[in-house]
Amino acid sequence: GKGIAVFTSGGDSQGMNAAVRAVVRMGIYLGCKVYFIREGYQGMVDGGDCIVEAQWTSVSSIIHKGGTVIGSARCKDFREVEGRMKAAKNLIQRGINNLVVIGGDGSLTGANCFRNEWTTLVKNLLDKGEISSEQANKCEYLNIVGLVGSIDNDFCGTDMTIGTDSALHRILEAVDAIVYTAYSHQRTFIMEVMGRHCGYLALVSALSSEATYVFVPEFPPPEDWESDLCKRCSEEREAGQRLNIIIVAEGAVDRNGNPITCEMIKDIVEKRLKQDTRITVLGHIQRGGNPSAFDRILACRMGAEAVIALMDATPNSEAIVVSLNGNQAVRVPLMKCVDRTLGVAKAMQDKDWDLAVELRGRS
Ligand code: ADP
C-alpha cells in the first residue's frame, strides 16, 4: 500500500483532530500505511518517535477535542534546504511519499516548496548513500494535498476554513454574556477578536450580535471614523438602546493603513460621548473549546477527500487543497489559492481597499 503521512502545522484550530481522524481512517480503509507526524514540520525534520504508524483505533475519541492531539509547531529548520533534506530522508526511509498537510497558508507554501525540490532532494540523498535506490524508486514523486485549518477564514479558495465556525461560536457566547452586563450598567463594550489580516470573524460576529460598529482590516471606516462611530453610538442610545457593542478585528486599520486599537476607540467614546466604556480582548479563548458540529463534519469530508485525491495523483498533477465550495468538497490548485491569499495582503498593504474587498469577497 501507499505510504501517507498526516500532520498539523502553524496555528491550531478546532476540527484539526477530526481531519486527522478522517485521513487515518480513509487511508487505512483504502489499504495504505498511514503515519502521524507529531509537531508539524519539526517532527518531520527530527524523525524518530515523531513519525509513527497510525492504527484505526489511534484516532478514536479525538473528534470532539479542540486543538490538535498530534501537536503543531513553527519550524525554522524546514525553511532551510538542509532541514528539508533531513525531512525527506525521514519520509523516504519509511516509504512515505504522500502528505496531507493541515495548516494555514504558510504551512501549505512550505509543502509546495518541498514538493518542487523533491527530485533534487531524492537524488542528493541517493548520492550520499543515505537512502537505497529501491527506497528512492518507491518515493520518486511527492504528492501533496492541503487542508486549511485556521480560525480566521483567511484563505482564498474555500468558503470556510476548518475552525472558523467553532471560533464564531466562542465569540458569540462571549458577546452574549457581555450584553447582559452592558445592558445593566448602560455600558459600551469594545471587543477585540482575532483576525490580523482577515475581518471575517469580526464581521460575522458583529452581524449576528447586532453590534453597533465593526472594524475590519480589509475595509477601513470613513476618513473621519471617530465622528461616524460616535454618531452611530449616540443614535442607538437615543433610540432607547442601553448599550453599544463595538467589535474590532486584531488587524483593524484606518484608510491610511494605521492601526485602530481598542484603546483608541475607548478614548474617543469616553471623551466625546461620556459613555462608561470597557474593553474585552477575547484572545486564545477563540481557539479553545470543542469543535462545532459544522467543523467536525467539514474536517471529516475534507480529510476523506484528501486521501482520495492522493490516490488519484499522477506524477504530473499539481499540489492541491481540498476546499469547500457551495457545500461541495472540491480540489483546487494550492499555489493559485496561496497567491490569491497573498494578493489580498498586498492590496491591503497598498491601501487599495476596493481591490482588497473584491479579492476577499471572491473567497
Ligand atoms: P500558518 O501555516 O498558520 O500560516 P506559518 O506561516 O507560521 O503558519 O507556517 C508554519 C510553518 O510552515 C513554518 O514554521 C515553517 O516551518 C513552514 N513554512 C512556512 N513558509 C515556508 C516556506 N516558504 N518554505 C518552507 N517552509 C515554510
Q: What is the pLDDT of residues 319-353, one digit of tens each?
A: 999 999 999 999 999 999 999 999 999 999 999 99
Ranges assigned E (strand) in the chain: 3-8, 33-37, 51-53, 98-103, 143-148, 188-193, 213-215, 244-249, 277-281, 320-325, 328-333
Instruction: Give the β-pairing of 320-325 and 328-333.
Output: antiparallel
- Burial annotation 299-333 (CB, 10 A radius, 16+ → b, else e): bbbbbbbbbebbbebeeeeebbbbbbeeeebebbe
CA of 75 to the centre of ligand 1 (A): 7
Quick: pLDDT tens for 19-63.
999 999 999 999 999 999 999 999 999 999 999 999 999 999 999
Quick: pLDDT tens for 160-209.
999 999 999 999 999 999 999 999 999 999 999 999 999 999 999 999 99
In the block, cell 525554522 appears at: 76
Residue 139 to residues 45, 122, 320, 321, 345: CA-CA distances in angstroms?
A: 17, 8, 19, 21, 36
CA of 346 to the centre of ligand 1 (A): 18
pLDDT over threshold 90, residue 316: no
The answer to whether 196 is annotated as binding is yes
**Is residue 152 among the annotated active site residues?**
yes
Cα dihedral 60, 30, 2, 331, rounded to 10, equals -90
Q: Percentage of residues in the chain with pLDDT exceeding 70?
A: 100
CA of 279 to the centre of ligand 1 (A): 32
* Site to substitute for ligand 1 among 8, 107, 198, most atoms within 8 A of C-beta: 107
Q: Give which of 40, 35, 69, 71 is closest to 52, Cα–Cα.
A: 35
Q: 152, 154, 165, 295: which one is catalytic? A: 152
Instruction: Report whether residue 83 contacts ligand 1, using a CB cutoff of 6 Å.
Output: no
Instruction: Report whether residue 105 contacts ligand 1, using a CB cutoff of 6 Å.
Output: yes
pLDDT band at 363 (very low <50, low <70, confident <90, very high): low
Instruction: Report whether residue 109 contacts ligand 1, using a CB cutoff of 6 Å.
Output: yes
Atom 9 in ligand 1: residue holding the nearest Cα: 106
Check if the beta carbon of residue 280 is closer than 8 Å to that of residue 192.
Answer: yes
